[in-house]
Amino acid sequence: MEFVSPEGLRLDGRRPMEMRQIRGEIGAVAKADGSAFFEMGNTKVIAAVYGPREVENRSQQISDQALVRCEYTMANFSTGDRVRKPKGDRRSTEISLVIRQTMEACILTHLMPRSQIDIFVQVLQADGGTRSACINAATLALADAGIPMRDLVTSCSAGYLNSTPLLDLNYVEDSAGGPDVTVGILPKLDKVTLLQMDAKLPMDIFENVMQLAIEGCKAIANYIRELLLENTKQLEYRRGP
Amino acid sequence: MQEREEAEELVTPGEVLGKGSQVKAGRGAYFSPQNDTVYASLTGRRSLIPPSSLSSDQRPTVEVTGHSAHGAIPEPGSIVIARVTKVMARMASADIMCVGPKSVREKFTGIIRQQDVRATEIDKVDMHLSFRPGDIVRALVLSLGDARAYFLSTAKNELGVVSAESTAGATMVPMSWTEMQCPLTGQIEQRKVAKVAGQA
């Protein structure tokens, strides 16, 4: 199948190095300590953060750092064909784990011993790159909750189809079976916290593809920073002098 | 004295606040020893606090104050308002409702042990003649206590029961530091009464 037309356009009309439109919103769940909505093109996710709070299950309590928990779910209506029982399958457990590890790497857990932080992410609409969108939403929600972090974590995927590196794959490109590299970085510290790849790539091409994904992450980080600053300004304005 | 110097600005997590040799990391900031840099860990306003002239370390402290309001948390030395939930022979347990002037958002339990009820004759204290379930008590946080509860103390004149209901259901009037009277029935009940400021 042709994923990049001779004119250099992808199936959805993007250039190979172009990202989908990203949009974020802070404060989507009123009850949560921090929450956010994040969309990358047609992929839409919502994240809610609770905590730091007392550990529910005492046997899980860690005496010198916070316990981070994460739950990833997909809404029944998020994909084209309705899934009957989406919770607890292997895919969501794996993504929950991946998001938890990524977020744990950036939260300053040693500041909040014997407490627990819960991150809930739900996919409202899935169109590829849900993992990345969830991580971005979780970062935004954590920052909204005022949880101390080393840096923002942002994530973006990139692939390699028709001998072209493509940034931010959508569902059709994702299910083409080509290599799909998901990268999560701490943009200011220049550190990688997540790197996953399906399929194989030669080393030199992999480096290009990963570099492309990192560029995507940095663009998202800039957007998230602007969003946070704008939100803080708004809050201060509403609070008054 | 100038409290804050330099223009304040908004920062987000991960932004560089300065070199470790020039500034110290305060709240909302952290120091990374690998590259000797101080970074922000919260979203909010940056502020520089000059060092106190007494300390040997003359670096200013950089702080980031976020907007999100966390609930108050009891810590040793703070005065709390608590509601007594259970009175036992050697201790009374209470739910902490306020820390200083702020109300708490989560549930914190405290324990007033027999030896912490009053300052004198501590071994003659009868818990049942000091507190009743439902009493509102002003207490001092002694320590973080055990895994379950904070240790509270009422061993001061201004600490103890500040508000209590009689069996008849009326709010009782304090008579002395050990007695309270019901205004409806005239019945006198025993309590460890707090001396509230502004009261004779």
pLDDT digits (tens, 9 = 90+) for A62-85: 999 999 999 999 998 888 877 666
Any domain includes A4? no
CA-based angle B93:B99:B104, to the nearest 5? 85
Mark yes or no for CB contact A233/B10 under 8 Å: yes
Alpha helices in B11-117 (DSSP H): none
Strand-pair category, B150-153 with B102-113: parallel
Chain B residue with minimum CA distance to A222: B12
pLDDT at B75 over 90: no
Amino acid A239: pLDDT: 77
Any domain includes A13? no
Please, is A183 exposed, middle or buried when counting C-beta atoms within 10 Å of its C-beta (0-12, 13-18, 19+)? buried
Residue A210 banded pLDDT, cuts 50, 70, 90: very high
| Average pLDDT for A133-137 | 96
Amino acid A82: pLDDT: 72
Chain A residue with minimum CA distance to B14: A151
In angstroms, the CA B134 to CA B89 distance is: 17
Same fold, B5-65 and B79-190: yes
| Average pLDDT for B33-54 | 88
Q: How many CB atoms lie within 10 A of CB A70?
A: 23
pLDDT, mean over chain B: 87
E strand intervals along A75-205 = 115-125, 154-161, 164-167, 180-186, 191-198
| Average pLDDT for A182-203 | 93
| Average pLDDT for A111-132 | 94
Do residues B127 and B90 touch, judged by C-beta distance below 8 A?
A: yes
Quote the minimal CA–CA distance from A190 to chain B in Å. 10
As beta bridge partners, residue A182 has A157, A196
Torsion angle defined by CA atoms of residues B71, B77, B82 and B84, in that order, rounded to the nearest 10 degrees: 140
In angstroms, the CA A185 to CA A199 distance is: 21
Which CATH architecture describes the domain B5-65? Beta Barrel (2.40)
Amino acid A191: pLDDT: 93
Amino acid B199: pLDDT: 55
Amino acid B58: pLDDT: 82
The predicted-structure confidence for B79-111, as pLDDT tens digits, reads as follows 999 999 999 999 999 999 999 888 887 788 999
Mark yes or no for CB contact A143/B43 under 8 Å: yes
Q: How many residues does chain B have?
A: 200
Out of 2.160.10.10, 2.30.30.90, 3.40.50.300, 2.40.50.140, the CATH code matching B79-190 is 2.40.50.140
In angstroms, the CA B14 to CA B22 distance is: 18
Mark yes or no for CB contact A33/B10 under 8 Å: no
DSSP, res A4:
B
As beta bridge partners, residue B138 has B81, B160
pLDDT at A14 over 90: yes
Mark yes or no for CB contact B14/A151 under 8 Å: yes
Chain B residue with minimum CA distance to A61: B147
Amino acid A85: pLDDT: 65
Per-residue CA distances from A123 to A22, A67, A127, B169 (Å): 15, 23, 10, 53
Query: Which amino acid makes up residue A5?
Result: S
Instruction: Give the domain ranges of chain B.
Output: 5-65, 79-190
Per-residue CA distances from A55 to A68, B50, B75 (Å): 10, 38, 19
Give me the residue from A108, A231, A233 closest to B30, CB to CB.
A108
Chain A residue with minimum CA distance to B10: A229
Describe the crossing of helices A130-145 and A203-239 by its angle, rounded to 10 degrees.
30
DSSP, res A178:
S
pTM: 0.79
Any domain includes A181? yes
H or E element at residue A174? helix A171-174
A225 touching chain B per CB within 8 A: yes
Residue B3 banded pLDDT, cuts 50, 70, 90: very low
Residues in chain A with CB shorter than 8 Å from the CB of B67 are 146, 232, 235-236, 239
Number of domains in chain A: 1
Cis amide prior to B50 (ω within 30 degrees): no
A97 touching chain B per CB within 8 A: no
In angstroms, the CA B8 to CA A159 distance is: 42
DSSP, res A58:
G
In angstroms, the CA B111 to CA A124 distance is: 46
Mark yes or no for CB contact B42/A54 under 8 Å: no
In angstroms, the CA B54 to CA B51 distance is: 8
Residue B6 banded pLDDT, cuts 50, 70, 90: very low
| Average pLDDT for A49-57 | 89
Kindly state the tokens that stand for A184.
């999560």
Higher pLDDT, A155 or B56: A155
Give me the residue from A108, A145, A233 closest to B41, CB to CB.
A108
Q: How many residues does chain A have?
A: 241
Amino acid B169: pLDDT: 87
Q: Helix or strand or coil: residue B130?
A: coil
| Average pLDDT for A92-99 | 94
pLDDT at B7 over 60: no
Residues in chain B with CB shorter than 8 Å from the CB of A36 are none
Q: Which CATH number is A116's domain given?
A: 3.30.230.70
**Domain limits at A124?**
22-239
pLDDT at A135 over 90: yes
Q: Helix or strand or coil: residue A134?
A: helix
| Average pLDDT for A20-29 | 94
Amino acid B56: pLDDT: 79
B31 touching chain A per CB within 8 A: no
* Helix%, strand%, coil% for chain B, nearest 5: 5, 45, 50
B43 touching chain A per CB within 8 A: yes
